[in-house]
Amino acid sequence: MKTDVVIIGAGPAGLMLGHLLHQAGIGIVILERKSAAHVLSRIRAGVLEQVTVDLIDQLGLGDRMHKEGLPHDGFFLADGARLIHINMTELAGHNVMIYGQTEVTRDLMDACDARGVDVIYEAEDVSLHDVNSDTPSVTYRKNGVEHRLNARFIAGCDGFHGPSRQVIPASVGKAYERVYPFGWLGILADVPPCHEELIYANHANGFALASMRSKTRARYYIQVPLTERVEDWPDDRLWDELALRLGPETAEHMTRGPALEKSIAPLRSFVFEPMRYGSLFLAGDSAHIVPPTGAKGLNLASSDVAYLSKALIQFFKKGLSEGIDTYSQTALARVWKSERFSWTLTTLMHRFPNEGEFGRRVQIAELDYIAGSRAAQTTIAENYIGLPL
């Protein structure tokens, strides 16, 4: 089979890129290792920057998002004694949209069927060939039958554990990484959220986040040591710890209920350079990972796709290579600024085992400064709503 672009991975990056290229009349095939149901079963991001909202609107797929999504003008930082409001709309001129990644993925998947976007699920042993040439190809097995897809370009949207990044030679690629000494234990429950907006709390016991998926479905997280397992945290123990870390004022409004989902995600900061090698482009988690504190993971996948789709459309429709030649440096400039913000907020809001009491007092002092500084709050607001493309 021959096509213009083979996209590996049907997560948000792969599906958004596939739709944007298909909409421009460029031939694409998306290869996904898992079933559609498995992809939808992953509970991940909850906050959409305007860049993600705009892409979904550009595809004409925003109806449900605008109907069911929750626009939020601000969020809170809590230090155990008070709630510090960061009013993004007032300080930085924009809000964010609360709409789960699962719902974004569902909308994109449903539209693939309706628009004839070619997605092959349960594609096994996806392998990339001749990526440093103008005639790359991808092989895979489906229902026991081997297939080969010849293409002009390959887009590696296969996440942190996918094969695309691995084919870039060690002499060409370089990884930058910081692994955090803790993870996030998340719980999803069909109970009303404890507050209208998100609350990020730094408590002596550790970080906690009160988020949501809708006015009837809450999403919470607490920082846990990497040695913890989900079975160590029965619902009651988790609800008790959340009430403690979020503080008595917030806990009063917390409604408990059975976990629909409970999982522990490790935290890391990771960037791989370059994001292009020959005819292979990386986009989304295949190239970078951020700790979810800044709600940037999904939104960085969106900005990569915004840059890459424009560059590929320029190549196929106008024969111009400037976009694809500058994609890596353009995307990485925004990636690193989001990495910086995510690392900064993670460092401010989590308890680090070797930081001791001095580190804790410095965190409390910084939160105290933020509480009284419009400039500090504006910096946080600008980064949280997402820097311009």
Q: Catalytic residue positions?
A: 72, 200, 292, 296, 384
Tokens for 136?
A: 């790359």
Report the partner that residue 219 touches, choosing among ligand PHB, ligand FAS, none (CB closer than 5 to 8 A by kind): ligand PHB
Residues 98-137 that bind ligand FAS (CB under 6 A): 101, 123, 126
Q: Does 296 bind ligand FAS (CB under 6 A)?
A: yes
Q: Does 158 bind ligand FAS (CB under 6 A)?
A: yes
Q: Does 247 bind ligand FAS (CB under 6 A)?
A: no
Name the helix (H) or strand (E) containing 372: helix 356-372
| Cβ-proximal residue to ligand PHB, closest one | 46
Tokens for 367?
A: 């939160």
Q: Is the peptide bond before 274 cis (omega within 30 degrees of 0)?
A: yes
Pairing mode, strands 83-87 and 74-78? antiparallel
CA neighbours within 13 Å on the CB side: how many for 72?
28
Q: Does 44 bind ligand FAS (CB under 6 A)?
A: yes
Pairing mode, strands 174-189 and 47-48? unpaired
What is the strand order of the sheet 206-214 is part of? 83-87, 74-78, 198-203, 206-214, 217-224, 174-189, 259-273, 288-289
Residue among 194, 125, 116, 152 at smallest CA distance from 7:
152
- Looking at 69, 193, 284, 291, which residue binds ligand FAS (CB under 6 A)? 284
CA distance 244 to 118: 49
Residue among 313, 320, 303, 311 at smallest CA distance from 276:
311
How many chain residues touch ligand FAS (CB under 6 A)?
A: 32
Q: Nearer to ligand PHB by C-beta: 295 or 312?
A: 295
Minimal distance in Å, beta carbon 33 to ligand FAS? 4
Q: How far is CA 277 from CA 139, 169, 306, in A?
A: 19, 9, 19
- Contact between residue 40 and residue 104 where contact means Cβ atoms under 8 Å apart: no
Q: Nearer to ligand FAS by C-beta: 11 or 248?
A: 11
Minimal distance in Å, beta carbon 292 to ligand PHB? 4
Q: Residue 55: what are its φ and ψ, rounded to 5°?
A: -60, -45
Minimal distance in Å, beta carbon 10 to ligand FAS? 5
- Looking at 40, 120, 251, 265, which residue binds ligand FAS (CB under 6 A)? 265
Contact positions toward ligand PHB, by CB under 6 A?
A: 45-47, 198, 211, 219, 292-293, 295
Report the partner that residue 18 touches, choosing among ligand FAS, ligand PHB, none (CB closer than 5 to 8 A by kind): none
Report the partner that residue 301 touches, choosing among ligand PHB, ligand FAS, none (CB closer than 5 to 8 A by kind): ligand FAS
- Looking at 103, 197, 285, 339, which residue binds ligand FAS (CB under 6 A)? 285
CA distance 286 to 163: 9
Q: Does 45 bind ligand FAS (CB under 6 A)?
A: yes
Q: Nearer to ligand PHB by C-beta: 216 or 326?
A: 216
Helix and strand element counts for the chain (H, E): 12, 20
Q: What residues pair up with 218 in beta bridges, in sequence order?
A: 189, 212
Q: Does 34 bind ligand FAS (CB under 6 A)?
A: yes
Q: Nearer to ligand PHB by C-beta: 198 or 380?
A: 198
Q: How far is CA 119 from CA 11, 24, 108, 111, in A?
A: 11, 17, 11, 11
Minimal distance in Å, beta carbon 20 to ligand PHB? 25
Report the partner that residue 293 touches, choosing among ligand PHB, ligand FAS, none (CB closer than 5 to 8 A by kind): ligand PHB
- Looking at 59, 298, 335, 345, which residue binds ligand FAS (CB under 6 A)? 298
Name, in order, each residue with C-beta under 8 angstroms of 149's C-beta and a sequence gap of 6 or more: 1, 2, 3, 6, 29, 31, 137, 138, 139, 140
Q: Does 14 bind ligand FAS (CB under 6 A)?
A: yes
CA distance 69 to 96: 10
Q: Does 193 bind ligand FAS (CB under 6 A)?
A: no
Which residue type, as a one-letter code, is found at position 202?
N
Q: Is 72 helix (H, G, I), strand (E, B) or coil?
A: strand
Report the partner that residue 302 touches, choosing among ligand PHB, ligand FAS, none (CB closer than 5 to 8 A by kind): none
Q: Nearer to ligand PHB by C-beta: 28 or 295?
A: 295
Write the DSSP symbol of residue 165. Answer: G
Minimal distance in Å, beta carbon 335 to ligand PHB? 17
Q: Which residues bind ligand FAS (CB under 6 A)?
A: 8-14, 31-34, 39, 44-46, 101, 123, 126, 157-159, 162-163, 265, 284-285, 292, 295-298, 301
